[in-house]
Amino acid sequence: MARKRKGQPIHGWLVLDKPVGLSSTRALSRVRHLLNAEKAGHGGTLDPLATGVLPIALGEATKTVSYAMEGAKTYRFTVRWGERRTTDDREGEVIDTSAVRPTDAAIAAALPGFLGTIEQVPPQFCALKVDGERAYAIARDGDAVDLAPRRVRIDRFVLVGQPDPDHAVFEVDCGKGTYVRSLARDLAEALGTVGHVAELRRTRVGRFTADHAISLDDLAAMEQGAAVERLLLPIETALDDIPALALTEAEAHRLKHGQPVALITRQDRDRLKALHGSAGEDGAILALFAGRPVALARVEGAEVRPVRVLNL
């Protein structure tokens, strides 16, 4: 017999403003404890150094975490010029220095070279696996890690300002898998110097923004029921980029029981045509009944097949 989960069945998304010094896993655990939630997951890891938007999926929303992680992200970060560090952020040891401090004009000239789809080598201290072992564990033992370049997408990269000669503040909009620490490292190199990330804040993950976020302290100060009622975002918040299909009651019943729905009438063909024009590459859609999510599904020919049923 499966062991019963502890906690309340809470379904939806909460946007946490993660504090500095706390891992994403620890932050998730704190939220789950404060809300007494039965099940939880997060939509994209933040380093302990970083602060800002950490979407927390509760209950059935955990079935949509992969869609949140695919969403575009926005970061504001500060580069410290003149010091290269082992971790490419302020937590590492200094391994190289430079007296070169780039001007605003030099930075502006270099930034366009980082736009679009680019190749990026991840930091030595990262969670990627090399021969079954985490890269950071290998690097922590003093060994060099051979990490292959990865293709990432940078949509916007702007200089916000340079408060002093040693520091510059940037904002970047980027796609999944982008390492801001690598971006800072490579930009410094392109400018003829070295650098690392001194501060990092994420302000957006897909539709989840800092405007929706709450700190752990404020969450702890709220009554549990009030926190859920005021702060919880609907499950479909993470599914903004996939089309929705309205179902009849009979169709919803079939999907909920793991059965495909055949769309064969003339009216059904019109529904299918609209879906084929807007569904993602994997054919994913959100099936709804009476405005409530029923399942994540996939269009296959003239059928809609359930992928993850949402038990709400």
Active site residues: 47
User: Distance of alpha carbon 283 from its chain centroid, rounded?
Assistant: 21
Which among 53, 49, 87, 40 has a CA at the least distance from the CA of 196? 87
Q: What angle do CA 43, 79, 127 make, to 5 degrees?
A: 40
Q: In sequence order, which ranges of 101-190 are alpha helices (DSSP H)? A: 104-110, 135-140, 180-190
**Apex 154 CA angle, 205 and 83, nearest 5:** 95
Cα separation, 25 vs 49, in Å, equals 13
Task: Count Cβ atoms within 10 A of the Cβ of residue 54 and give its class: 0-12 exposed, 13-18 middle, 19 or more buried.
Answer: buried
Q: Is 68 helix (H, G, I), strand (E, B) or coil?
A: helix
Residue 24's DSSP bridge partners are none
**In 10-159, alpha helices (H):** 24-35, 65-70, 104-110, 135-140
* DSSP states along 123-190: PSSSS-EETTEEHHHHHHTT-------EEEEEEEEEEEEEEETTEEEEEEEE-TT--HHHHHHHHHHH
Its sign, for the CA torsion 234, 28, 310, 301, is positive
Q: Which of 86, 111, 286, 95 is nearest to 183 (CA)?
A: 111
Cα 286 → chain centroid? 20
